[in-house]
Amino acid sequence: MPGGDAREAAKTVTGSFEDFPFLAELPARGPGADMIGRTAGLLVELYAHVEPSGWRISDRPGRDTRRARSWLGEDLDALEEFTQGYEGPLKVQVVGPWTLAAALELRGGEAMLGDAGAVRDLAGSLAEGLRGHLAELRRRVPGARPVLQLDEPSLTSVLLGQVRTASGYRTHRAVDRQVVEGTLRDVMAAHDGPVVVHSCAPGVPFGLLRRAGAAGVSFDFGLLTERDEEPIGEAVEGGTVLFAGVVPSTDPASGALSDPGGSVMGVRTLWRRLGLNPGTLAKSVVVTPACGLAGASPEYARKALAHCARAARSLADNPE
């Protein structure tokens, strides 16, 4: 979400999505509130600090770690305030192990991705940190049924060997798909509820994520190609929920959103092309922005969330 006011963000998300609120991230506050720093602050017995090139592994927790943890605590305080008495699903998101490995630097400056042992340690630390984070969420919102989202925008680049080394002249080797799948499965096991994997990059590996145990896949609907259709159909038939990013995540140039029914027209069309039962749309699709709203204006972010809710109702009321 845009801005830096935790209470205002919590008020917006709980008011917009009364049946599916989420713990907002506010990266505009600076290092430690960004997605990588925020998740680095959750790690157990692994610490990171900010360098000009990005986040780098440290020997001990420092100012940057303390700042990340402080902001997360502030966000949890705000969410707790606005979810008094709430019972139902509540989404919390962290960066997944592969995007984290591609972003965090070892002490020499290279990404952790290039060291298989470091990646294993990172995944174990992340899983342990997640257990504590989810326990804290349940303590603060006792009626919540947490839905864990793993943000993996770099996942396709990891699979294709497209993550650049520190010099920028080479790329790290592609990681074996079974290793990627196994690591994701291990991290997902930290949560005893549903896990959604989010990527707003092209080429989301729907089949791999489904095999790893993802209950849902969140993606930018506008980036789909024909080759994605078969794996999407198989995922839906296997019970995977699609978090379809159909609402622009930044202010449209025209200044106006389309009507709610128009926003989900592409989803209806895809359903027909795949030969899926329109009656399953309401339980198989969650309507979302195409990606995070941090780059939007606060006013547009509020409009986009409300628009998602209206578009979802349109999809449920008029599936065909």
pLDDT in tens, 154-183: 999 999 999 999 988 899 999 999 999 999
Go through 5-28 and write b for each residue having 16 or more CB atoms within 10 A of its CB, e for each that does not. bbebbbbbbbebbeebbbbbbbbe
Structure tokens at 282: 């309401």
pLDDT in tens, 303-314: 999 999 999 999
Residue numbers of the domain that contains 43: 6-317
Angle, helices 226-237 vs 265-274, to 10°: value is: 80
DSSP string across 45-90: S-EEEEETTEEEEESS--HHHHHHHHHHHHHHHHHHHHTTT--EEE
**Residue type at 33 in one-letter notation:** A
In a domain, 265, yes or no: yes
Residue 188 has pLDDT above 90, yes or no: yes
In a domain, 185, yes or no: yes
Confidence of residue 255 (pLDDT cuts 50, 70, 90): low
pTM for the model stands at: 0.95
In a domain, 1, yes or no: no
DSSP string across 4-31: S-HHHHHHHHHHH-TTS-B----GGG-T
In a domain, 188, yes or no: yes
- As a whole number, mean pLDDT of residues 276-300 equals 94
DSSP 271: H
In a domain, 133, yes or no: yes
Count of domains for the chain: 1
Beta bridge partners of 198: 151, 218
Residue 254 has pLDDT above 80, yes or no: no
The DSSP H or E segment spanning 244 is strand 241-247
Rounded Cα–Cα distance for residues 162 and 174 (Å) = 7
pLDDT value for 258: 81
Q: How many residues does the chain have?
A: 320
pLDDT in tens, 55-109: 999 999 999 999 999 999 999 999 999 999 999 999 999 999 999 999 999 999 9
In a domain, 234, yes or no: yes
Rounded Cα–Cα distance for residues 100 and 30 (Å) = 18
Rounded Cα–Cα distance for residues 58 and 177 (Å) = 29
Residue 216 has pLDDT above 90, yes or no: yes
pLDDT value for 282: 87
DSSP string across 138-180: HHHSTTEEEEEEEE-TTHHHHHHT--B-TTSSSBPPPPPHHHH
pLDDT-above-90 percentage for the chain: 93
Q: What is the CATH number of the domain that holds 264?
A: 3.20.20.210
Mean pLDDT of the chain: 95
In a domain, 101, yes or no: yes
pLDDT value for 103: 97
Which position has the token pair 């919102």? 141
pLDDT in tens, 110-162: 999 999 999 999 999 999 999 999 999 999 999 999 999 999 999 999 999 99
Q: Supply angle C-alpha 29, 33, 34, rounded to 5.
A: 105
pLDDT value for 225: 94
